[in-house]
Chains A and B, each alone.
Chain A
Amino acid sequence: MTRAVLFFAATLVAAALGLVAQDGANSAGRSNAQVAQTSASDSHQGSPQQPATLAGANDSSKKAATDVAGASVQDPATAQETAAKSNAELPQTSTILPLLGLIGLGSLVAGFFARR
């Protein structure tokens, strides 16, 4: 029983570490230019790190509107160029959060059985 629980725990930890490493490798593939661009855009969009009071939001909104207007002038093919820069892949739209939640629940259940 103890060995089984140990094995299960080790598997969970290894799976979590592997996934985190894989996720980190995926995100590291992005170009620095795009990361800087998106983070700048995020800050304009009233991001949570800058809680937006309404007055402050108006200023940031104007800036963002300017940016958006600037973006619309760009050639539509720039999307492909941007994606090509970012490791030539479509955006990564999966997270490891559900898996981490599942592993967490599994750990709790395994802990409960190990205690009995």
Chain B
Amino acid sequence: MQVPRTSSLTRSRRFVKNRSLALGVLKPGEWRSRIAPRKPELVVCRASRRRLISYVLFTIGGVLCTYVAGNYTWMYAEQRKLMHEWKAQNASLPSQDAPLTRLSIPKIHLRAVVLEGTSRRSLLLGPGHLTGSADPGAIGNSVIAGHRDTFFRHVHSLRYGDDIYVQKSRRLFHYVVTSRRVVEPTDLSVLRASNGGELTLITCYPTHAIGPAPQRLVVVARLAPGN
């Protein structure tokens, strides 16, 4: 015969009841009346409190989800607009007057227009070219930073020999990845000047973590011969 499982509270109540009945403290039928019934107003109060909490949580969740979705939608729309602008400029302007730069990495299916500066807003809309570093395609170290959760999400999968293309002023510059390392945010050696054409991509590390990043992933590429 299988004994139904009961909780410890139920067992202890049953024990007290049986013991009380056995000792004659309680008469049969009095037990139920001794247990204080739940007051209806208390039940209503608790239900309304839970409803209020659920409303608050729904509101917080709705606001946060809308904010995040809005940001990502804005980023997508602006990047598309910049891409159209880049195409239009390439078609219409003389080669030296086209300021927008497009970064493309076939291995990770990245194609994005690079913005100038690494402010929060710039990085939200696309990869940002570090102000003061060399222009992409020029002699020197050109530094481009991007968010790990959007444009540079798959940068960590770049390996030695992978191709990176930078298209600027109707010219295509071909870079080849030469190294990849993880550095501290205070390690500014990755920004050092270079004698040749060098492209440095910076994003946060660990790549798949959520929240503030303690380190940076740096991918260095060199201008391929023949550019």
Chain A residues at the B interface, C-beta cutoff of 8 Å: 1-2, 5-6, 9, 12-13, 16, 19, 22-23, 26-27, 30, 34-35, 37-39, 41-42, 44-48, 51-52, 54, 57-58, 61-62, 64-65, 67-68, 71-72, 74-84, 88-112, 114-115
Contacts and interface: CB of A to CB of B under 8 A. Distances in A.
B98 A97 contact: no
Given A41-B115, A79-B143, A88-B188, 11 more contacts: A9-B56, A71-B132, A72-B138, A79-B134, A92-B120, A93-B123, A94-B149, A104-B60, A105-B65, A108-B65, A111-B55
Contacts of B49: 2
A55 B204 CA distance: 37
Interface of B: 46, 49-51, 53-58, 60-65, 67-69, 71-72, 74, 78, 81-82, 85, 88-89, 92-93, 96-100, 115-125, 128, 130-135, 138, 140-141, 143, 145-149, 152, 183, 185-188, 190-194, 202-204, 210-213, 216
5 contacts: A2-B50, A41-B122, A54-B92, A64-B116, A102-B210
Interface of A is mostly: helix
Nearest to A48: B78
Nearest to A1: B50
Shortest Cβ-Cβ A-B pairs, 9 listed: A38-B117, A104-B64, A111-B57, A107-B61, A108-B61, A41-B116, A79-B133, A76-B193, A64-B99
Contact of A16 (B64, B85, B98): B64
Contact of A97 (B68, B115, B133, B134): B68
A51 to B, nearest CB: 8
Given A42-B115, A90-B185, A93-B216, A2 B53 contact: yes
Given A42-B116, A45-B115, A79-B133, A108 B145 contact: no
